[in-house]
Structure 1
Amino acid sequence: EAYYVDSCGKRWFRTGDIGEVYANGTFKIIDRKKDLIKLQFGEYVSLGKIEAELKSNPFVDNICVYGHLYHSYLVALVVPNQLAVVRLAKRLKIDYNSFSELCENKQLISYLKHQIRRHGLNARLSKHEIPEHMSLCCEEWTPDNGLVTAAMKLKRKQIINRYQKSIDQMYENSDNNNS
């Protein structure tokens, strides 16, 4: 239903947004309901909030954070900033033949994971809001390939479908390391 009627008879339009109402009667939209998920131990996390914070890292062009009720941690699909990552590879003396090969380099991934984790902590994200594992996606996400809208908002379902194998591997590798 498009409208909700509260106990006072006031009609509200359902947008799917989550807001805060202030004492002076104004309100601020702070999140989208569909971007809230619950992790294994009951923590609710806002994927949009986390993505906005982590996207401000200079190594990140785009990011899609994923979590599942059956896991206690998040994982992330990261589209790295190509220029920043190539410069970093030179600094770390990493040899590579292509950008896609660079995106699979374990040393680079480990370094970026550490940088993104530190960035999240500096942004005051909680430990459970910081992705435990990440996979680099060398393909840029554009409206043409259907992974973002014309306004550059994530098409979460399409991204998850495209990278499901990477998501599964991030969880499987962690599960295998913990057993």
Structure 2
Amino acid sequence: MATPQQQPTSGGTSAETLTEDECWRYLESSYIGRLAVINRAVPETFPVNFVPVNRTLLFRTAPGAKLNALLTSTPVAFETDGLSAYSTEVWSVVVKGIPGQVPDGEAPIDLADPDREPWLPGPKDHLIRITPTEVSGRRFPVHSRTRWWPPLDFSSDWT
């Protein structure tokens, strides 16, 4: 197994380059990510619930801009990230690859797992597979969680 490499970051800490095996372990521990596609020469991102299967990524989608972009077979990028249980370390994995629709009856998994429920309701009749051409990732320590912790959504308090 390859030894991870350290890369300096702008904050003075070192980011560790993940091996491909480590990237897949993180992908297997996650279920939501962001898909970047090119839609009519315009980049767009979409949140998707995904499942890694045999070193590919699978997700369901409905007709629309995302599916139209995916059916062109133009390369896509997918990212998911997370943090350790005590919020002392963060990681990010990027998969670049070629999307393709999985024909009916060839689905190797059941995507009805409750953890894989789409955030947006409605039928998602198209199963898409991303076949990776590149998998990369980084992991690095976090020193002050309050400096990067996502802001709370106070918009519900405004009504």
Q: TM tier, shorter chain?
A: under 0.3
Structure having the higher strand fraction is 2
Structure having the higher helix fraction is 1
Alignment TM-score, normalising by the size of structure 2 = 0.28
Please identify the structure whose Cα radius of gyration is greater.
Answer: 1
